[in-house]
């Protein structure tokens, strides 16, 4: 039976809005971040299996940055009080070419600049971290299989930034300057 497009749909024909679970969001974030990391390499490396590329420090670095960007967008979309989000990796330094490589660390470190800290921020971030960690454990890599938490969010306020207190001092750092991802 054809529906006349000029008539409003009946109650039975009205499509239900889709509700996306946090696990689906985490899966999408991970897939997008893996695709982002793959685009940073030449075809021979892209042709390698996921287990192989997850052994490369440079692939993990791009993957973590891809995760940071996508997580930042998710956090900002969830809460209007988020002012900015920065990604930093304490294992990277300006002397990284002269030092021995640091062991692979899958943690995504974020500075989340909020108007004020709230239980709502903390609980949403904890739930997102749980979903992301569960998703990451499925990756074919030993550094992800035993992961307890993939996300290290550090909430900072304008007062913290003004006083250069705690991790907010990184925003004016010369050696470990975080990169704004949102």
Q: Does the pLDDT value for residue 33 go beyond 60? A: yes
The parent domain of residue 124 ranges over 22-94+104-180
166 lies in some domain = yes
Q: Does the pLDDT value for residue 74 go beyond 90? A: yes
Q: Which among 41, 35, 105 has a CA at the least distance from the CA of 67?
A: 35
32 lies in some domain = yes
Q: Which position has the higher pLDDT, 90 or 51?
A: 51
- The 10s digit of each residue's pLDDT in 106-145 is 999 999 999 999 998 899 999 999 999 999 999 999 999 9
Q: What is the model's pLDDT at position 6?
A: 43
Total number of domains in the chain: 1
Q: What is the model's pLDDT at position 5?
A: 38
27 lies in some domain = yes
12 lies in some domain = no
51 lies in some domain = yes
Structure confidence at residue 93 as a pLDDT band (50, 70, 90): low
Q: Picking from 128-137, 154-163, 172-181, which range would have the lowest pLDDT averaged per residue?
A: 172-181
13 lies in some domain = no
Q: What is the model's pLDDT at position 97?
A: 56
Q: What is the model's pLDDT at position 101?
A: 63
Q: Picking from 61-65, 78-82, 157-161, which range would have the lowest pLDDT averaged per residue?
A: 78-82
Q: What is the model's pLDDT at position 46?
A: 86
Q: Does the pLDDT value for residue 15 go beyond 80? A: no
Percent above pLDDT 70 for the chain: 83
Are the C-beta atoms of 14 and 48 separated by less than 8 Å?
no
Structure confidence at residue 1 as a pLDDT band (50, 70, 90): very low
């Amino acid at each position: 039976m054809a529906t006349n497009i000029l008539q409003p749909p009946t109650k039975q024909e009205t499509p239900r809005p889709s509700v996306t679970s946090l696990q689906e969001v985490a899966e999408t974030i991970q897939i997008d971040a893996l695709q982002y990391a793959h685009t940073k390499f030449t075809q021979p490396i892209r042709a390698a299996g996921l287990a192989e590329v997850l052994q490369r420090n440079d692939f993990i670095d791009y993957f973590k940055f891809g995760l940071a960007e996508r997580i930042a967008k998710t956090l900002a979309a969830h809460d209007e009080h988020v002012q900015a989000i920065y990604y930093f990796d304490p294992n990277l330094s300006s002397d990284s070419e002269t030092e021995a490589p640091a062991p692979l660390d899958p943690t995504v470190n974020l500075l989340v600049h909020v108007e004020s800290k709230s239980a709502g921020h903390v609980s949403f971030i904890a739930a997102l971290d749980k979903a992301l960690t569960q998703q990451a454990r499925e990756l074919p890599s030993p550094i992800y299989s035993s992961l307890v938490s993939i996300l290290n969010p550090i909430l900072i306020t304008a007062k913290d930034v003004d006083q250069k207190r705690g991790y907010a001092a990184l925003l004016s750092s010369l050696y470990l300057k975080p990169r704004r991802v949102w």
